[in-house]
Amino acid sequence: METPKELLDTLEKLGDDQFKKFKWTLQNQECLEDFPAIPKSRLENADRMDTVDQMVKKYGRNTMKVTRIVLVKIDENDLVKSLSKTKSEPKGPRAEIQQRNPDRVPAEDRVPAEDRVPAQDRVPAQDRVPAQDRVPADQKLFSVRTEFVNRVSDSVLDELLDKLLHRRVITDAEMQLTRTKHRADKARDVIDTVRRKGPGASSVLIAALCEVDPWLYTELNRS
């Protein structure tokens, strides 16, 4: 099985700061789509080899799928593409689909439906996402709105705007208009604009905050 070696090679290409972001993302379930997070206690002092061990233990055959998700979250898209190239090239119609969508997870990395284990069986009780984190993302944003407006910095807001534009959650006109405002009004504009676009857009903002300011993300989760 090539997964541990391939994953270790990938982590060794990350600088120290990006490796810290990689581990932070693994600790926050909001950033991992449907996959469970790895507890902070298991990653806090983990080096790259320890992190590989923890990921393989936690995600099994889905390890590389989670790796791709995390790399996208921390804006390491070149590494995502290089991971795709290390796989054998698909043949036939699938090859055309893969070429059009280079970040698409190859079929061989997906878990067949009949092999999937119910969430309650595969996630240890201590690792399950708290009930308050399972509310729709737009409702989650509404619940932390006041704290977000009071705490988020101007520089973080600018980075969030860049990510929201890059992921097509907001338009260029919306970004430019929001940038002209003072910090508190800018924060209100960011969270309210995204929240009104629904749960999907709200999930993108939550994931972006997890990348840009993990400390604030964690504090808001405690609110």
**Domain spans of the chain, in order of start:** 3-124, 131-222
- C-alpha 217/C-alpha 123 separation (Å) is 23
**Can you give the pTM of this predicted structure?**
0.47
Alpha carbon 204 to chain centroid distance? 9
pLDDT at 97 over 70: no
Write the pLDDT tens digit of every residue in 172-185: 999 999 999 999 99
Considering the domain 3-124, what is its CATH architecture? Orthogonal Bundle (1.10)
- C-alpha 223/C-alpha 203 separation (Å) is 17
Between CA 30 and CA 110, with CA 9 as vertex, the angle to 5 degrees is: 50
**Alpha-helical runs (H) found in the chain:** 3-12, 16-26, 40-43, 48-59, 63-73, 77-86, 93-100, 119-122, 137-143, 145-151, 154-166, 172-179, 183-196, 199-212, 214-222
Considering the domain 131-222, what is its CATH architecture? Orthogonal Bundle (1.10)
Residue closest to 81 by CA, chosen among 99, 55, 61, 66 = 99
- Cα dihedral 43/26/30/118 (nearest 10): -100
The whole-number pLDDT of residue 218 equals 85
Topology alike, domains 3-124 and 131-222? yes
Q: What is the mean pLDDT of residues 208-217?
A: 88
pLDDT band at 77 (very low <50, low <70, confident <90, very high): confident
Q: What is the mean pLDDT of residues 85-90?
A: 46
